[in-house]
Amino acid sequence: MANKLLVAYGSKYGATREIAERIGLVLKDAGLAVTVASAADVDSVSAYDAVVLGSGVYAGQWRKEAAALLQGQESALAARPVWLFSSGPTSQGDPATLTSGWLIPDGLKPVAERIKPRDITIFHGALNKSKLNLIEKLMMKMMKAPYGDFRDWAAISAWAQSIAAAVQSA
């Protein structure tokens, strides 16, 4: 049984960090030893038996710290159970449908395919206008992205519970 899990994330304004913290809490509640950390603070995944890695999506890309962890730790990640998530769509409806089935940036797909994650998913995100700079506000206006918190905490918790079940049955 994997007993040390890492939940690492890339987050610009904190919404994805909060998703990672919720995943970590569900895993801890299931009796697992969990570390939740910014991907920027993770030098190696070798001390962990399983890894959950996620990132907020900005202009179709993962945050650089999350992408760097995925790419830089590819061999180590391929040797353990891994789950990947993205967060981003800020509107109603199924997040995978809203992104036309997109779950991870195209540039990271080859790495993900080599790692062979147990699951890749996408969650709704949150967009707080007061935290954005002028360029970001203009981009959101052009994209007609609605502001607000669209995160589905029940879906996030259910996904984390499925990870806990998989780890406990291993």
Q: Is it the case that residue 1 has pLDDT exceeding 50?
A: no
Q: Is it the case that residue 118 has pLDDT exceeding 90?
A: yes
Q: Is it the case that residue 62 has pLDDT exceeding 70?
A: yes
Comparing CA positions, the residue from 101, 77, 28, 88 lying closest to residue 55 is 88
pLDDT of residue 45: 98
Domain 4-169 fold: Rossmann fold (3.40.50)
Q: Which of 22-26, 55-59, 111-115, 143-147 has the lowest mean pLDDT?
A: 143-147
Q: Is it the case that residue 100 has pLDDT exceeding 80?
A: no
pLDDT of residue 22: 98
Domain boundaries, the chain: 4-169
CB-based contact 78:115 (threshold 8 Å):
yes
Task: Write out the two tokens for 137.
Answer: 């506000």
- In the chain, DSSP finds a helix count (H) and a strand count (E) of 7, 8
Over residues 104-113, mean pLDDT: 95
The 10s digit of each residue's pLDDT in 148-167 is: 788 999 999 999 999 999 99
